[in-house]
Amino acid sequence: MDVKLEVVMVPVADVDRSKTFYKALGWREDADVAAGDDFRAVQLTPPGSGCSVIFGHGVTSAAPGSSQGLYLIVNDIDAARSELIDRGVDVSEVFHDAGGGLPEAGTEERRVSGPAPDRRSYFSFASFSDPDGNGWILQEVTTRLPGR
């Protein structure tokens, strides 16, 4: 049985502000649906992604800005970071984890400036947040692990 992750809910406070932010990233608008004053759902998809995000009013009870560790996989971390900066996003410097792991919340002290040694696939990162504080991680993947 194939199982595909297709939608991630992103809790936001201001739907129009968030829509403007994500569209400015170059994300495709798939839907903007409202039903009365109590429901509005906006769905956008990052370029090349099979998974979309949905945010809106009445779509989740999660607190705005509470989603962290949302990964965007890129094949060139420097180019992706530069493009986001050109689009007006405040993006961290490229970094890697001193322990050779993933950049989890609360491990900022383990972040080492620059890409992973030898540009090892899966281990170079940059981060940014949306206007509500939802946290996104760019992860450079140049060679997939076996079976991926």
Say which residues have a Cβ less than 8 Å from residue 83's Cβ, sequence separation at least 6: 26
Instruction: List the chain pLDDT tens, one digit each, 148 residues.
Output: 999 999 999 999 999 999 999 999 999 999 999 999 999 999 999 999 999 999 999 999 999 999 999 999 999 999 999 999 999 999 999 999 887 677 765 567 788 899 998 888 989 999 999 999 999 999 999 987 777 6
42: number of Cβ within 10 Å: 25
Number of Cβ atoms within 10 Å of the Cβ of 121: 15
The helix/strand/coil state of 84 is helix
Residue 23 in tokens: 């569209």
Can you give the C-alpha Rg of the chain in angstroms?
A: 16
Query: Do 21 and 131 meet the contact criterion of CB atoms below 8 Å apart?
Result: yes
